[in-house]
Every structure is written in C-alpha cells, then in structure tokens.
C-alpha cells in the first residue's frame, strides 16, 4: 500500500468513496466540483492501482487545519489504511508549520489513538462552519470536535 497526493484521475474514486459514507450520514457529501477544486488537499491510499481510501488536510488559517473526508473502502477497513492517511496528513501539517489540527467526527476512539482530544465545537473559529450549511443535520450537529496540538 502506498499513500500519495491525489491527482485528477483519482477524483471519481474519491467522490464515490466519500459519498458512500455520506449516504449513511457519516460524512458530508462532496460534489465532483468540490473535489476538483480541493484536489490539492487530498491524499489517497492505493494498492495495485486501486484506491482504498482518501483523506484531506484543509488549511483554515495560519495555525489551523482540518482533517476531513476520511473514507476507506469497506473491504479495506481495519487494514491500516485510515491510520496511514491520518499519519500522512499530520506529517503534512507539521511540514506546513500548522500548530493545531482539528476534526469533526463520530470516530472519537480512532482519532484518540493519534492523541486528538475532545473540545467544545464553540471553541473552533466560526470560519470552520462554512460547509456545515450543506449538512442535513445543520444546525443540530451531533459530531464531536477534536483537536491535536502538532509537535514541531
């Protein structure tokens, strides 16, 4: 398995992966347009040409980024794909000089393994809520906000 930056030929696979989870209410849906516009944020994990998972690191401000759209093919779950993607996003955050990375998630145990800690959603800047208006659960979000202080 290899984790690499996503390229344009990966967009359809990323779209399919994310929106499978979106149908279950686990992730926000993403349009093809949104993925194309943000392709530089995405990482993919592939094996023998097959995309097994994706994840994005989106820079929000000079010291803050969000990990979002973590999706792993169901038959590849529990094989380390998600962990590899998170580790690469955190490495990129460190390389960029990001001091804090947050996530909005239902998978608190998973992110806890990376030392993310729960925080109140209100502690995050208003800027991070721009996409929430597209969520069917808005304004009654039941995701948990978690944050990690990135060590230099």
**Whole-model pTM?**
0.90
Separation between Cα atoms, residue 59 and residue 68, nearest integer Å: 11
Contact indicator for 80, 52 with CB cutoff of 8 Å? no
Share of the chain above pLDDT 70, in %: 89
pLDDT at 137: 61
Residue 71 reports pLDDT greater than 70? yes
Determine the average pLDDT of the residues in 42-70: 96
Mean pLDDT confidence for 115-135: 75
11-to-16, 30, 56, 114 alpha-carbon distances in Å: 9, 11, 12, 27
CATH topology (fold) of 2-149: Aminopeptidase (3.40.630)
Percent of the chain with pLDDT over 90: 76
Q: Compute the average pLDDT of residues 97-105.
A: 95
Q: Which of 17-21, 23-27, 55-59 has the lowest mean pLDDT?
A: 23-27
């Amino acid at each position: 398995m290899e984790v690499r930056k996503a390229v344009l030929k990966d967009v359809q696979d990323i779209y399919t992966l994310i929106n499978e989870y979106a149908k279950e209410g686990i992730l926000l849906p993403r349009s093809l347009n949104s993925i194309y516009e943000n392709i530089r944020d995405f990482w993919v994990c592939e094996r023998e040409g097959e995309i097994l998972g994706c994840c994005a690191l989106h820079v929000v401000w000079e010291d803050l980024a969000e990990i979002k759209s973590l999706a792993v093919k169901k038959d590849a779950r529990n094989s380390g794909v998600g962990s590899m993607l998170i580790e690469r996003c955190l490495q990129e955050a460190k390389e960029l000089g990001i001091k804090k990375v947050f996530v909005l998630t239902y998978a608190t145990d998973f992110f806890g393994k990376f030392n993310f800690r729960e925080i109140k959603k209100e502690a995050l800047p208003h800027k991070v809520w721009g996409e929430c208006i597209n969520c069917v659960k808005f304004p009654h979000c039941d995701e948990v906000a978690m944050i990690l202080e990135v060590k230099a």
